[in-house]
Structure 1
Amino acid sequence: MHGLGELEAAVMDVLWRAAEPRKVRDVLDRLDRSLAYTTVMTVLDNLHRKQWVERELHGKAYLYRPTLTREEAAARALREVLAASGDPHAVLMHFVASGSDEETDILRSALRRKRVRRT
């Protein structure tokens, strides 16, 4: 995910897949890597500081949950790419031109819904 390091993205993936908030140990146990508990704790603390996760003290441990859905985070990343491109119009035109028929239909539908909400 744009704006996240590799380990941060892996931790966010664990949280996005979870049905409920997770403790550091839960996240560590679900990662496909051999890491120290303190490493995962530091990553979660950094994600909290960056406002990717919120935490709530539960007993002696924090429970972590994402502040955005995976889809909302992806949309934010796309917005940042457009803003950094220098020419959002050209980027969008290239993006649309490279899209599949299904993706084009999804974009058309979303634009129609947006217009209806504005009126």
Structure 2
Amino acid sequence: MKQLTKAEEEVMQILWKMKEGMIKDILEGFTNKQPAYNTVATVLKVLKNKDVVDYKKVGNVYVYYPVITKEEYSSFQMKHLLKNYFGGSFTRLAAFFAKDNDMSLEDLEAMLKEEDTQHLK
């Protein structure tokens, strides 16, 4: 899997939420300033080349859909962050977030319990 740019991630966030859509549908998903139609079309082409988006032709329009889940990409991003910024150490990552967010031991324990609960599902 390849790293996505900010623009690519914005389009993916919309597609993950919608499950699938035409370019005009994706444009409507932007909450801030809407990019140009051609910009979204170009981003979708790049995402297709990165194998994270595909499309099907319905009549004379293309309907785009994500090939990877949001969870798969989130996992990839976290592993990338862990490896490149924390030397592969989850302890360093947790310590950084605990310090940066002024987390207490109780907060950390609750976070770990929540993660264990999510893992069991």
- TM-score, normalization: structure 2? 0.73
Of the three residues 98, 112, 118, the one matched with 1:104 is 112
AA matched with 2:27:
L
On the 8 A contact 1:21/1:64 being kept in 2, the answer is: yes
- How many residue pairs get aligned? The number is 108
Alpha-carbon offset, residue 46 of structure 1: 0.7
**Alignment CA distance shift 1:96-1:107 (3 Å):** farther
| SS at 2:56 equivalent | strand
**Alignment CA distance shift 1:35-1:110 (3 Å):** closer
State the match for 2:21 in structure 1: 22
On the 8 A contact 2:86/2:92 being kept in 1, the answer is: no
Partner Cα distance (1:60, 1:105) in 2? 50
Alpha-carbon offset, residue 33 of structure 1: 1.8
Q: Which runs of 5+ in 1 are unaligned?
A: 114-119
- TM-score, normalization: structure 1? 0.74
Partner Cα distance (2:29, 2:117) in 1? 37
Q: How does 1:41-80 map to 2 (within 5 A)?
A: 41-80=41-80
Task: Write the deviation string for residues 16-35 of structure 1: whole angstroms up to 9, x where unpaired.
Answer: 111x4101111012213232
| SS at 2:35 equivalent | coil
On the 8 A contact 2:86/2:93 being kept in 1, the answer is: no
AA matched with 2:11:
V
Alpha-carbon offset, residue 62 of structure 1: 1.4
Identity %: 25
Q: Which runs of 5+ in 2 are unaligned?
A: 99-106
**Alignment CA distance shift 1:27-1:100 (3 Å):** same
Partner Cα distance (2:7, 2:15) in 1? 13
Does residue 1:10 correspond to 2:5, yes or no?
no
Partner Cα distance (2:40, 2:63) in 1? 13
AA matched with 1:93:
T
Alpha-carbon offset, residue 108 of structure 1: 4.2
On the 8 A contact 2:55/2:62 being kept in 1, the answer is: yes
